Amino acid sequence: MATIRLGKRTDKRAPLIKEFVPLAKLDDIVFGAWDPIPDDALTAARKAGVLEERDIEPIADFLKAIKPMPAVFDNKYVTRIHGTNVKKGKTKRDLAEQLRQDIRDFKTRNKCERIVIVWCASTEIYIKPGPQHATIEQFEKAMEKNDDAIAPSMLYAYAAIMEGVAFANGAPNLCVDTPALQKLAIDRGVPISGKDFKTGQTWMKTVVAPGLKARMLGLSGWYSTNILGNRDGEVLDDPQSFKTKEESKLSVLHTILQPELYPDLYKNFSHVVRINYYPPRGDNKEGWDNIDIVGWMNYPMQIKINFLCRDSILAAPIVLDLALFSDFAQRAGMKGIQEWLSFYYKSPMAAPGLQPEHDLFIQQTKLKNTLRHLMGEDQITHLGLEYYAS
């Protein structure tokens, strides 16, 4: 984690965040998982091909000991994955109760004081919010009826909140971002956040787009394409799963650029997103962006970005940060949507009727100011007039 400035610039106080905030120590964390594929963490790490053997071998025994619990999984929602390590139950309510028991057993077995769940599973098919998601009573009835509108990810979110466990959604699908589960989280004092980890191409958009807007440069079009060969790429090769991801990716530019306020610069810009499954690339995702911008006196210009990134290497630190910050939020008495964690998400959750903030730099300011607030420090506004007062 980075440093955080405290007080005036002349105070020269800039501790590391992990030294400023009482986060859980890494040595005190116990890792567990559910997975429809029964491989232990060592086998999974070697199959994924993200890390080289020199990085895996020193912790091979540690990884081998992490064996996944049977997952709540339905191929209907993630069509390109077939797993055998799967729970069985008569109703989705039964499956949710099994997850709750898993959480209790894991906590007891490992003598944990607290639990955090970070959803890192594959993107589910696109589901629109409906009456099944409006209240917790309707949600629970839908579970009992095995309603198709209740996806596996929602069962994990429900189980977590019912057990008082903070929940972070790293995928773009409808999950904890429903009125029913948001209200349940507030009622039970549980922090929730989401959704869709901001790692590669969209992260770059939230860096570049604020710069264009700050300089009042127009945008006529932004074309984005990716090639990806890992399991995420395979899942997104399914049109319904891709639609879920596309909805998340497309929301970013409109929110940052605000075409309703700047129609001359941003009205009707073209925004195209493509993801192509290309197995030879593995986890090493490559993203291309062609950005057609408009300068003074309507002169056109272009920006080209070719981002050769490693998907999991970018995502893993986000998972850890979210686990630590979600735990800290719960200890601080925070509950419901944690908008200050939007820094980590492509499609951040916000209160009903409130426009989510996508600008990475505003998100970072919000995150750090929240930490300052919780620790009793003054907010940083960057006004700076006190340095020039006579």
The least confident of 44-48, 218-222, 225-229, 372-376 is 225-229
268 with 339, same domain: the answer is no
Query: To the nearest whole percent, how much of the chain has pLDDT over 90?
Result: 85
157 with 65, same domain: the answer is yes
Core vs surface per residue 172-185: b (16+ CB within 10 A) or e: bbbbbbbebbbbbb
Alpha helices, DSSP H, located in 258-290: 263-266
Look at 125 and 250; give whichever has higher pLDDT: 125
190 with 209, same domain: the answer is no
Question: Has residue 243 got a pLDDT over 90?
Answer: no
164 with 272, same domain: the answer is no
- What single string gives the DSSP state of each residue in 109-147? HTT-S--EEEE--PPPPP----GGGTSHHHHHHHHHTT-
Question: Is this prediction's pTM over 0.85?
Answer: yes
pLDDT band at 389, cuts 50/70/90?
A: confident
pLDDT of residue 143: 98
Report, as an integer, the average pLDDT of 216-221: 98
Please identify, among 309, 335, 365, the residue that sits at the C-terminal boundary of a domain: 309
Q: Is residue 133 one of the residues assigned to a domain? A: yes
Question: Has residue 248 got a pLDDT over 70?
Answer: no
139 with 31, same domain: the answer is yes
Q: Which helix (H) or strand (E) holds 168?
A: strand 166-169
Question: What is the domain count for the chain?
Answer: 2
Q: Which amino acid is at 1?
A: M
pLDDT of residue 58: 98
Can you give the CATH number for the domain in which 286 is found? 3.30.360.10
61 with 99, same domain: the answer is yes
Q: Annotate 2-66 with three-state secondary structure.
A: CECCECCHHHCECCEHHHHCCCCCHHHCCCCCECCCCCCHHHHHHHHCCCCHHHHHHHHHHHHCC
Q: Is residue 369 one of the residues assigned to a domain? A: yes
User: Which two three-digit tokens encode residue 140?
Assistant: 């629970």
Report, as an integer, the average pLDDT of 240-247: 76
Q: Is residue 2 one of the residues assigned to a domain? A: no
Q: Is residue 161 one of the residues assigned to a domain? A: yes
Q: Is residue 380 one of the residues assigned to a domain? A: no
pLDDT band at 30, cuts 50/70/90?
A: very high
- Best-predicted range by mean pLDDT (159-168, 277-286, 308-317): 159-168
Can you give the CATH number for the domain in which 356 is found? 3.40.50.720
pLDDT of residue 231: 77
Report, as an integer, the average pLDDT of 234-245: 76
348 with 240, same domain: the answer is no
Please identify, among 292, 309, 326, the residue that sits at the C-terminal boundary of a domain: 309
pLDDT tens digits along 165-176: 999 999 999 999
Report, as an integer, the average pLDDT of 291-304: 98
Please identify, among 309, 328, 360, the residue that sits at the C-terminal boundary of a domain: 309
Residue 230 belongs to what domain range? 201-309
Report, as an integer, the average pLDDT of 194-213: 94
19 with 116, same domain: the answer is yes
pLDDT of residue 247: 76
pLDDT tens digits along 79-101: 889 999 999 999 999 999 999 99
Please provide the average confidence, as pLDDT, over all residues in the chain.
94
Report, as an integer, the average pLDDT of 336-354: 96
Q: Which amino acid is at 33?
A: A
Report, as an integer, the average pLDDT of 333-357: 95
Q: Is residue 276 one of the residues assigned to a domain? A: yes
162 with 302, same domain: the answer is no
261 with 278, same domain: the answer is yes
Intra-chain end-to-end CA distance of the chain, in Å: 38
pLDDT tens digits along 57-80: 999 999 999 999 999 999 999 988
Q: Is residue 387 one of the residues assigned to a domain? A: no
Q: Is residue 251 one of the residues assigned to a domain? A: yes
Residue 322: closest CA among 187, 221, 198: 198
Report, as an integer, the average pLDDT of 147-167: 98
160 with 298, same domain: the answer is no
295 with 352, same domain: the answer is no
CA 82 to chain centroid = 24
